[in-house]
């Protein structure tokens, strides 16, 4: 085995909402991802290093209305990916985080937003791993979100809300 893909994701609502839902989002999205990385890091080391791919989200960098618990958990996945990259560098393991807006999955069922084909997300992700990328930004929306990090976040929030409410 030389590739671990951590593709865990549940919502969780808002931080001021149901605390059990917030904990569930962190349990699955962060703790589940970390548990898998810890379990498979020795296997990857024994097989020459390999790669760990953590499916993060554009929500790592931007809070969508009503999904702050998810955003916090995916921001933790992004930060964890950066930390694991340092901790596993000595064994030759690449750790990459993947960021996208929305894919056509069961989690997004019923959401009226543009969604990517999951097969396209997988292709872009594997291309990124092949290119030794540590962050794979899958779509144009997520590129805009990442670029906004160096700006006043309120400006991007205004732009996003104008898109939602034309």
Pairing verdict, β 3-6 and 51-55: parallel
What is the distance between the alpha carbons of residues 160 and 66, in angstroms, rounded to a whole number? 14
Closest by alpha carbon to 138, among 93, 95, 94, 103? Answer: 103
Closest by alpha carbon to 75, among 94, 54, 44, 51? Answer: 54
Structure tokens at 48: 């020459």
Closest by alpha carbon to 4, among 48, 46, 34, 40? Answer: 40
User: What are the residues facing 43 on neighbouring strands?
Assistant: none
What is the distance between the alpha carbons of residues 89 and 81, in angstroms, rounded to a whole number? 12
Among the listed residues 30, 40, 61, 70, the single catalytic one is 70
70 in active site: yes
So which residues are the catalytic ones? Answer: 70
């Amino acid at each position: 085995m030389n590739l671990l893909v951590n593709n865990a994701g549940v919502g969780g609502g808002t931080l001021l909402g149901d605390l059990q839902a917030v904990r569930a989002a962190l349990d699955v999205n962060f703790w589940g991802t970390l548990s898998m990385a810890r379990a498979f890091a020795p296997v990857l080391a024994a097989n020459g290093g390999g790669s760990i791919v953590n499916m993060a989200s554009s929500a790592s960098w931007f809070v969508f209305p009503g999904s702050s618990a998810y955003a916090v958990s995916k921001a933790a996945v992004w930060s964890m990916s950066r930390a694991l990259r340092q901790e596993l560098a000595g064994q030759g393991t690449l750790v990459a985080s993947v960021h996208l807006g929305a894919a056509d999955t069961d989690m997004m069922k019923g959401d009226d937003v543009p969604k990517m084909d999951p097969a396209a997300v997988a292709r872009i992700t594997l291309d990124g791993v092949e290119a030794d990328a540590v962050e794979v930004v899958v779509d144009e929306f997520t590129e805009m979100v990442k670029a906004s990090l160096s700006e006043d976040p309120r400006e991007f929030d205004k732009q996003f809300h104008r898109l939602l409410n034309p």
